[in-house]
């Protein structure tokens, strides 16, 4: 037995500290005086990085300012455009009121320097000229005030027993209906040119009867009509059903048919008869350049011999359109 046999070999262990030793050696920061507390190491940003951040903020603010300015200018342009349109509409309405006022003044007030007679009555020519001016863009379905003005004019200058085209009864209502249909059945309507001429004047005869004391005024011109989908459904429904090739050629196109309107006046300056003929055939020949296509187009068209739209060729009744076609357009229902 050696000298070291009865002794235990010491075991080397790592340094172990208790929790109390740790707390004593590292007291909490709150217990240390302020001067002895360790300062946190904050990573300082370089001057170049700060300048870059500032430039980015300036660029963002500049871009936002430009965007706000563009939005503001767009809103201002929209407001200006709306005001300009409203101003133009008011100016146009004011001009229409002024024209109608001048018409009424000349229609009712007689010149004191001269006396009106049946042989020098200026009212027939006055009525014909104002008719062209009042309906130069068709019936104003978009404006209640303007359409009411147009309707008042028609009812004023027409006799109660007016014969309007193919209608022998309720002529005033039939005339107003046709004026509305010519406007609503087409995309646009515009009177391009017109010439008002006196065709017949009363004959100075002691034995002159009522027929000889009649003024006849003719209005010649051309109207500009744009063919829309509603036009095909309401005037040329057979083209949509059986002639798609012709329908594709005319839809969206503009025609300029010539027209002749004849007005008959009595001794009171009232319109007793209204005749109108519109040359649709000549206008479509220029558009299609095919007589066969024009014959096919107009053969089944809902246009009477008096150039009335939506009227059955076999009668003067107004129910020419089949029920299915009537339901295709809200405009037809409203009219």
Domain boundaries, the chain: 118-334
Average pLDDT over residues 130-150: 90
Q: Is 253 exposed, middle or buried (0-12, 13-18, 19+ CB in 10 A)?
A: middle
Helix (H, G, I), strand (E, B) or coil at 264: strand
Average pLDDT over residues 150-167: 90
Q: 86 is written with which tokens?
A: 């409203």
Q: 310 is written with which tokens?
A: 């939506």
Residue 110 phi/psi, 5-degree rounding, is -95, 145
* pLDDT score recorded for residue 323: 35
Residue 109 phi/psi, 5-degree rounding, is -90, 125
Q: What percent of the chain has pLDDT over 90?
A: 38
* pLDDT score recorded for residue 49: 67
pLDDT tens digits along 12-57? 555 555 555 555 555 555 555 555 555 555 555 556 666 677 788 8
Q: 166 is written with which tokens?
A: 């193919």
CB 250 within 8 A of CB 240: no
CA-wise closest residue to 240 among 321, 134, 124, 151: 321
Indicate yes or no: pTM above 0.85: no
Residues 6+ apart with CB under 8 A from 134: 96, 99, 100, 149, 150, 153
Q: Which carries the bigger pLDDT value, residue 189 or residue 322?
A: 189
Pairing of strands 271-278, 158-164: parallel
Q: Which carries the bigger pLDDT value, residue 19 or residue 241?
A: 241
CA distances from 141 to 175, 183, 187, 253, 274 (A): 15, 8, 12, 22, 22
| Cα 297 to Cα 287: distance, rounded to the nearest angstrom | 12
CB 137 within 8 A of CB 223: no
pLDDT tens digits along 92-117? 777 888 888 888 888 887 654 456 66
Helix (H, G, I), strand (E, B) or coil at 283: helix
CB 222 within 8 A of CB 192: yes
CA-wise closest residue to 320 among 258, 238, 226, 222: 238
Q: Max alpha carbon distance in the chain (Å)?
A: 179
* pLDDT score recorded for residue 79: 83
| Cα 151 to Cα 167: distance, rounded to the nearest angstrom | 18
Above 80 in pLDDT, residue 217?
Answer: yes
Pairing of strands 254-255, 189-200: unpaired
Query: Could you identify the residue written with the tokens 């594709």?
Result: 248
* pLDDT score recorded for residue 32: 52
The mean of the pLDDT values for the chain is: 78
Domain made up of 118-334: CATH architecture: Roll (3.10)
End-to-end, the C-alpha distance of the chain in Å comes to 134
């Amino acid at each position: 037995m050696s000298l070291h046999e009865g002794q235990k070999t010491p075991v080397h262990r790592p340094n172990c500290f208790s929790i109390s030793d740790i707390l004593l050696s590292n007291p909490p920061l709150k217990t240390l005086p302020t001067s002895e507390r360790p300062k946190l190491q904050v990573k300082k940003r370089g001057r170049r990085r700060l300048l870059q951040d500032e430039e980015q903020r300036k660029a963002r603010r500049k871009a936002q300012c430009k965007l706000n300015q563009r939005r503001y200018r767009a809103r201002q342009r929209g407001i200006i455009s709306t005001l300009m349109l409203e101003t133009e509409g008011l100016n146009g309405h004011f001009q229409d009121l002024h024209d109608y006022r001048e018409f009424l003044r000349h229609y009712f007030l007689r010149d004191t320097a001269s006396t009106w007679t049946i042989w020098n009555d200026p009212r027939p020519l006055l009525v014909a000229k104002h008719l062209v001016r009042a309906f130069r863009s068709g019936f104003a379905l978009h404006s209640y005030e303007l359409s009411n003005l147009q309707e008042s004019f028609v009812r004023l200058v027409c006799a109660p027993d007016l014969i309007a085209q193919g209608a022998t009864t309720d002529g005033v209502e039939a005339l107003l209906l046709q004026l509305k249909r010519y406007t609503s059945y087409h995309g646009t309507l515009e009177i391009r040119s017109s010439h008002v001429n006196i065709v017949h004047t009363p004959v100075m005869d002691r034995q002159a009867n009522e027929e000889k004391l009649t003024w006849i005024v003719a209005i010649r011109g051309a109207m500009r009509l744009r063919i829309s989908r509603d036009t095909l459904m309401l005037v040329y429904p057979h083209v949509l059903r059986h002639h798609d090739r012709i329908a594709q050629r005319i839809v969206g196109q503009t025609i300029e048919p010539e027209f002749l309107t004849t007005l008959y006046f009595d001794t009171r300056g009232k319109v007793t008869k209204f005749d109108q003929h519109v040359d649709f055939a000549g206008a479509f020949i220029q558009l299609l350049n095919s007589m066969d296509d024009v014959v096919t187009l107009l053969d089944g068209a809902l246009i009477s011999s008096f150039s009335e739209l939506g009227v059955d060729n076999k009668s003067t009744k107004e129910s020419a359109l089949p029920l299915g076609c009537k339901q295709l357009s809200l405009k037809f229902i409203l009219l």
